[in-house]
Amino acid sequence: MKRLIPVFAVLLVGLWVSCSDENGPTNNGDTTLRLVANTTVDEPSLSSPDEVVWSSVDSVTVPVKMGNAPKLKPPKAAAIPPEILVKAIKKGGKLYLRLQWSDMTFDTYPEHFKATEINTQSLPPRVNFTQQPCEPACEDQIYVMFDGLSDNTYDVWNWRVLTTGGGGLGKGYTCTYDGTPVADAAGTATDSVVVENPPDEFGQPTYASIDTSEFQGFILYLQDTVNRNEILDSIYDPYMGDYIYIYFFNTTGWELDQKVPGWLIDSSFASLSDSARGSRWDIKAVSDTAAGQYHVVLCRKLDTGFSDDIVLIDSVKVTIGIFDNQVTFEPPSSNRGFSNDFWIILP
C-alpha cells in the first residue's frame, strides 16, 4: 500500500501536471484551486446525486481545456464544457465526489440491435436482427485522476453513463505517464456489470424484456429480462379444453427497424461484497441529468486495502477528464478535455 506523495508528472495524453510543494499545496502565492472536503454533513445515501445534503457543501469550479492541451490546438467547435463544478464530502471512511457539467446531447446508446426483416407469413413470426455500430461512436464518460499512486502513476475513477453508470458503479484504473489505462484487479465474482446481448441461432437476441417487443429503453436490466423460451402468458381455449402458451419467440408486435438494446446491465453487482467486486469495481456511483447537465456522485473508501488504489489522506492533487461520446483517448479532438489541476484537502 503506497502513501499519498504528490509528485511532478506528465498528465495522461499530454496535459502537464504541476504542484506547488512536494508535500502538498501551500499558500505562498500559489493560485492552484483547492476544495476542502466537508466532514460535518450527513453521509450521502447515494439514492440520488441531488440529495439535500449536498446543498450545504462548498464547491469549486474547475476550468476544462479542450483537446490534449497544450500540445495540440483544439478545433473551434467544442463539444466539452468550459468548466466542471466539484463538491466533496469525507464521511464514514469514504470520499464522496459530486461532479456537475454541461452536456446537451446525453449520449447513452453505444450499441443496439435493429430489426431488419419481419416475416409475418410463418408461425411463429421470424425477426432478423443485425448488430449496429455505436451511435455515432461511444458514450459520455469522465476520468477522475488522483496523482501520487507512485511515480508518474495515477489512480483513476472512470464513470461511463451506460456501461458502468447503468450498474451504479465506476471502474477503477491505473494510468501511467504514457496514457495507457490498465483496469484494476477484478474480484472473486464474474466481471459482469455489463453483458452484451448477442443474437442466438434463431436470429433473435438471447433475452427479451418482460415487456416483450414494446421495450424501447437504452438498456435492459437483468432483472427485467426473460429467456426467449420462457412462457410470457397463457390463454385457456375452451374448444380444446387446454391452455395455449405464449412464448417470447412467437409474440407479435415487432416492427421494421425497431431497436433492441444490445447491453444487459446487472445492477445487483454493486451490492456484492468488496472482495467479490475487487478494486476494479470498488467505486459506487449515482447519476442523473437535468437542465442540460450531468449530475454524478462517485464514492470510494479512503483506504480500500487494495494495492492498486491510492490511500486518500491529507490532500491529493486531482485532474478530471471529460469525454463527450468518446471511448478512447485517441485521436485527440474537441470531444475530449481535461480540467486544470486542483487539490482536494482531506481534513
pLDDT tens digits, residue range 5-62?
Answer: 232 232 333 332 322 233 333 333 446 899 999 999 999 999 999 999 999 999 999 9
pLDDT value at residue 12: 34
Q: Give all domains of the chain, ordered by start, each with its CATH number.
A: 9-107+136-187+283-346 (2.60.40.1190)
Instruction: Select from 218, 256, 62, 211 the least CA-distant residue to 140.
Output: 218
pLDDT value at residue 93: 98
Of 18-22, 260-264, 329-333, 340-344, give the lowest mean pLDDT range.
18-22
Is 345 or 79 the better-scoring residue by pLDDT? 345
pLDDT at 183 over 80: yes
SS3 35: strand
- Most confidently modeled of 14-23, 121-130, 280-289, 317-326? 280-289
Cell of 320: 478530471
pLDDT value at residue 283: 98
The overall average pLDDT reported for the chain is: 79
pLDDT value at residue 253: 64
3-state helix, strand and coil shares in percent for the chain, rounded to the nearest 5: 10, 45, 45
Does residue 212 come out as left (phi exceeding 0), alpha (psi in the -120 to 50 range) or beta?
Answer: left
User: Is the pTM value of this prediction over 0.85?
Assistant: no
pLDDT value at residue 68: 46
Of 28-32, 310-314, 320-324, give the lowest mean pLDDT range.
28-32
